[in-house]
Chain A
Amino acid sequence: MKIGVFKFASCDGCQIAFFEISKELIKMDVDIQYFLEAQSENHFDHFDVSFVEGSISTPEQEERIKQIREKSKKVAVIGACAVSGGIQSVRNFMDFFDVLSSVYPSPDYIKSLEKSKPVSDYIDVDYELRGCPINKSQLLEIISSLYLGKELVLPSYPLCLECKIKGIPCVLILGKPCLGSITVAGCGAICPSFSRGCYGCFGPIKNPNIQSLKEVFEDHGFGDIYSHILTGFNAYNREFRGNDEKD
């Protein structure tokens, strides 16, 4: 099985998961053809599956992601940047030139797209691994499923189910803002197991009840925090961005 690992606008953090499962990878007959962070010899030829970290943020990246699609049987996007646009997509909600000139003294030298967008805005995507960063067992699951030819099953249910399976008392009822009910499971309910609210790094479930949870936050008197935590790693996910921007 030929694998490629690619990076776009991102922090490189999700790719670390490949090193964490390296013992398992060695046991499988996988051939890592392209992975700049891990090896000096790389071939851009043909891939059974390509893993893409990072959002599409520059014109070059837009071209490059299309090339990757052409060369790959399957494309899996990994992490909140690739899935949703990442933390850098908060610029999508501001004036682009204001942002640009506030960061760079000579913005003329910068070639950037106005928006930082998810990979799926440019190409068809076969699999999505959520999280900031991703969960290494989910990464192993995707690779071993492809390797063994079995159906990949990743959760689509909210974090609350994972949290309850672990027997953790609901932190929202105990008075802390938590996005668990609109966030997809898969991280192992890390934050609630340390009595902290989930801030949604795994991104939204399908059709989240955003409005009702907003009212719940208001009833708890959490102030304006709701829109702030939604404006994070997954702000530009299709479930969250404005309705006019869905396409």
Chain B
Amino acid sequence: MKKIKKTQINQLFEAVKNEYSVVAPVIKEGVISLDLITDISQIPSGFTEDEKGNSYKVAKSSDRFFSYSRPYLPFKRFIIPPEFVFMKVVKNDGRINFTEVIPDKKIALFDIRPCDLKALQILDDVFINKNSHPDSYYAKAREKLFIVAVTCFSPTENCFCSSMGISLKPEHGYDILITELKDSFLIRAGSEKGSKFLERIKAEEVSQTDLVEEEKTIKETEKKINKKVSTENLSQILYSQIDSKQWEKVGSKCLACTSCTQLCPTCFCFNIVEKNSTDGSYSERIRVYDSCFNPEFATVHRFNIRQSIASRYRQWLMHKFAYWTDQFGSYGCVGCGRCITWCPAGIDITEEIKKLREGYDNH
């Protein structure tokens, strides 16, 4: 662990940029979003989101460097893009040739918060570790990632990561971890790759006072996270509520717009479509994000097993908090709160869980 001056963050950024394309939070279209950046000044320092229920505002309000929260878009978009060609098919002299498209970009995720870092580990389980047919595209893209995590001192009102067992300062899963103190940054390496970068930066020793300040800030921030989900026995309780009246109620409100699944950092569903040249000599196989709210999602042999919006909402909530535990041994939610902020119908998944739990308690 080392300590650097605030002005030295640029050196760290440049060192990473020399080897990787850097993806980081930026202000775009009026929100804190995510994009490739080439200069540290593109980071929205000093801005903070105000997320209440499903309202969103950004304002200049703080002098901290990492003043904002997790970005609007999830990082998964830069590992498995929303839409990409993964196979090219060419017909030539009666033969059909298939060429797999392999991701070749070395990407650094700069400033990923603990919730999104955990989401990445969940996706690793989904696509590689707990998958009997590991996803070769994901695996390749993942290998090339460099991860700069940041201890989170700026939760929004919709964040409930602590309920999902996530600490504001991650323990592992990063190459470099940055913690912002009042006058400096603490930098930890979490991998060999990370250590090499730190060696190149002239740094100071960390003092006991710094660690006390770090600990104190974490404690203070934890107190700001007011949204909670009780996860005790949760999947069992949800299974018992599979026929609850609550699904119809929330189904009448839900627009089945798919936004929650698209912004959720762990939702992984995709569809495969084919685009042909008009002479039939060439085609591209394209992988594109899908959603269990898509009306066609559960259509099997022309019969749709989830026609009602209620049944689709149930799939989403049950997958995140019940089925996921059977499939992958963890919840499929990291408490980032994006689905709450960006739900046009104002549905709050934590409130829905509360109501289902009440249904169980009152039984």
Contact = CB atoms under 8 A, between A and B. Distances in A.
B237 to A, nearest CB: 27
A173 B291 CA distance: 20
B: contact size bracket? 35 or more
Contacts, number: 106
Interface stretch (B129-137, B149-157, B342-350): B342-350
A: contact size bracket? 35 or more
Most buried by A among B253, B256, B294: B256
Interface string B43-61: 0000000000011100000
Nearest to B252: A212
A160 B259 contact: yes
A167 interface: yes
Interface string A153-173: 100111011001111111011
Contacts of B288: 165
B57 to A, nearest CB: 9
Contacts of B252: 209, 211-212
A170 B259 contact: yes
A161 B280 contact: no
A103 B254 CA distance: 42
Interface string B320-363: 00000000000000000000011011100000000000000000
22 contacts: A144-B276, A148-B280, A157-B291, A158-B255, A160-B257, A160-B344, A161-B291, A161-B294, A164-B262, A164-B289, A165-B82, A169-B31, A169-B33, A170-B342, A173-B342, A173-B344, A174-B31, A207-B307, A209-B256, A209-B309, A216-B345, A219-B346
Pairs A-B, 4 closest by C-beta atoms = A164-B262, A160-B257, A181-B255, A181-B257
Interface of B: 29-31, 33, 54-56, 72-73, 77, 82-83, 252-259, 262-263, 273-274, 276, 278-280, 288-289, 291, 294-296, 307, 309, 341-342, 344-346
Interface of A: 24, 27-28, 140, 144, 147-148, 150, 153, 156-158, 160-161, 164-170, 172-174, 180-182, 195, 205-207, 209, 211-213, 216, 219
